[in-house]
Structure 1
């Protein structure tokens, strides 16, 4: 069974990799949009990179705080204990 430090490290690694991929895709889409549609302005690059980084941040937040996933219910240990039969 992996230790809690290993699990935390894996989550951080996944978050960093996800951030780099999504920000990179956003940057690339921004460059293409800037060149093709917006006469080489810089704001589409910044906007789409921000969208990618924001999506990665939201995914990372859900990874570290599962209570934020819609439909997830956190159950206390007392609710999991078997009920005595009368």
Structure 2
């Protein structure tokens, strides 16, 4: 039951924001290009800033070094994929 309440607490603000956006769009507060503009804002500014602040505040140097092997393997996989696609 505790987990369900935590999930609902996490989802509730998102549902409220979506509902407010829907109601405001029904009232014609936004132009047709708004969805594309807000998407660019989120993907190019808000999301990277959120990830950066989250990493800076929660990731320690010891945790980062423990991820090094996985980062090397995934980086090598990406490089091999690019080379295979190029060929």
TM-score range, shorter chain: 0.3 to 0.5
- More contact order relative to length (CA 8 Å, sep ≥ 6): 1
More helix by share: 2
